Amino acid sequence: MSVSTSGPTSGPAREVLLDPYDYAFHEDPYPFYKRLRDEAPLYHNEELGFWALSRHADVLKGFRNSTNLSNKYGVSLDPASRGPHASKTMSFLAMDDPEHLRLRTLVSKGFTPRRVRELEPRVTEIALQHLDTMLAKARDNETVDYVDEFAGKLPMDVISELMGVPEPDRAQLRAWADAVMHREEGVTDVPPAAVEASINLIVYYQGMLAERRKKPTDDLTTALLEAEIDGDKLTDDEILGFMFLMVIAGNETTTKLLANAMYWGYRNPDQIAPLYTDLDRVPQWVEETLRYDTSSQILARTVVGDLVLYDTKIPEGDVVLLLPGSAHRDERVFDEPDRYLVGREIGSKLMSFGSGAHFCLGAHLARMEARVALTELLKRIRGYQVDEANAVRVHSSNVRGFAHLPITVEVA
């Protein structure tokens, strides 16, 4: 592994290693991040072909510098996901202005805050449906998989509800979405199974679009078909790209948020105990989880023009990774950053949904889902235990969370 580093110090910095595909890194990236922040705030991995920014101030500037750090080749390090085709599956997340602004504005005509607000009662119903099933299995002190039974089902079902996917088809779409994200150890690109799952999702949504053209309904798919500004409308490819983005970015990250909240709540019972009798504080639990162990850990950008960082000129076309997972543990910004403290002041320092022009359009949906899901769960249990020995982490180059989280619960 050929690694070089740039920054204000040298010496031990030569030993710093960041490999987003390494399973040891997936288990606990935070010691790696601390060394990067302290020893190599501008890090260069020659073998994998990227630079990385780890300090809060640098990551924030990176998110907001859409002049020199471009999205147009995608936001993943995986080679197959990068390139001018990235927008086909990542929509406006893989575009720069003015194309980004045009598409985002049109999508916003259909994907409105009002539509999300009106969805909350239905989100509650879906959450209760899955909770009832999970807790019925858990009543006899049986171990249940929180991801399989709840956290992995709710977000995808909510997105399917938004789009108008029939309930019988939702399990299949969840399976395809999971396959798109999964990586076996040592795989540093998009595997064939993920490509196949991606094609299956696109073909399914193409069929939905064709149906909605014939018979419009009151769902997001129809709203996107009808969205128009001064005669400008979304093409089918643009709608499909956004739908795919919702499935991958919206589904995966929210599933990981829900499981991460449960895991760290278990590890920090003193922080969660007061919430059982003060459910209004559940949003604080959500926010601290987003800070402490964010789902979206690593986002890629491509250098455009002249970019100088830490007295180093970064060549045009090189990849720069922004590390919000590291930024949220930066002691230069947060007091006791490695302490899980529900209720701490976070505010605008949070970058789980990015910052600047590409701030996540679905942030309000993710927060609402997490608030509803965790509130309804706490109403129905008196406590829970996580079987840490059998918990299984997701292996992804940019998303952090659990594939399986076995728990036992004390049903209220």
Banded model confidence at residue 389, pLDDT cuts 50, 70, 90:
very high
Whether the predicted pLDDT of 118 surpasses 70 = yes
pLDDT digits (tens, 9 = 90+) for 181-216: 666 655 666 678 888 998 999 999 999 999 999 999
For residues 143-153, give the mean pLDDT.
95
What tokens does 291 get?
């800070």
* Per-residue confidence (pLDDT) for residue 1, from 0 to 100: 32
> Does residue 111 contact residue 88 with C-beta atoms inside 8 Å?
no
* Per-residue confidence (pLDDT) for residue 90, from 0 to 100: 86
* Per-residue confidence (pLDDT) for residue 11, from 0 to 100: 39
For residues 137-148, give the mean pLDDT.
91
Helix, strand, coil fractions of the chain, as percent rounded to 5: 55, 15, 35
Whether the predicted pLDDT of 8 surpasses 80 = no
* Per-residue confidence (pLDDT) for residue 191, from 0 to 100: 74
Whether the predicted pLDDT of 4 surpasses 50 = no
DSSP run (H or E) holding 407: strand 406-411
* Per-residue confidence (pLDDT) for residue 236, from 0 to 100: 94
For residues 83-109, give the mean pLDDT.
91
Residue 313: CB atoms within 10 A of its CB come to 10
In CATH, what class is 3-411?
mainly alpha
How far is residue 397's CA from residue 291's CA, in Å, rounded to a whole number?
19
* Per-residue confidence (pLDDT) for residue 182, from 0 to 100: 61
Banded model confidence at residue 10, pLDDT cuts 50, 70, 90:
very low
Torsion of CA 329, 333, 335, 337, to 10 degrees: 0
How far is residue 281's CA from residue 155's CA, in Å, rounded to a whole number?
21
Q: Please state the domain extents for the chain.
A: 3-411
What tokens does 146 get?
């929180």
Arithmetic mean of pLDDT over the chain: 91
- Judged on CB neighbours under 10 Å (0-12, 13-18, 19+), 200 is middle
* Per-residue confidence (pLDDT) for residue 9, from 0 to 100: 39
For residues 18-25, give the mean pLDDT.
92
For residues 176-182, give the mean pLDDT.
76
Identity of the highest mean pLDDT range in 81-95, 130-144, 179-193, 312-326: 312-326
Whether the predicted pLDDT of 384 surpasses 90 = yes
Whether the predicted pLDDT of 302 surpasses 90 = yes
pLDDT digits (tens, 9 = 90+) for 233-288: 999 999 999 998 888 777 888 999 999 999 999 999 999 999 999 999 999 999 99
For residues 83-111, give the mean pLDDT.
91
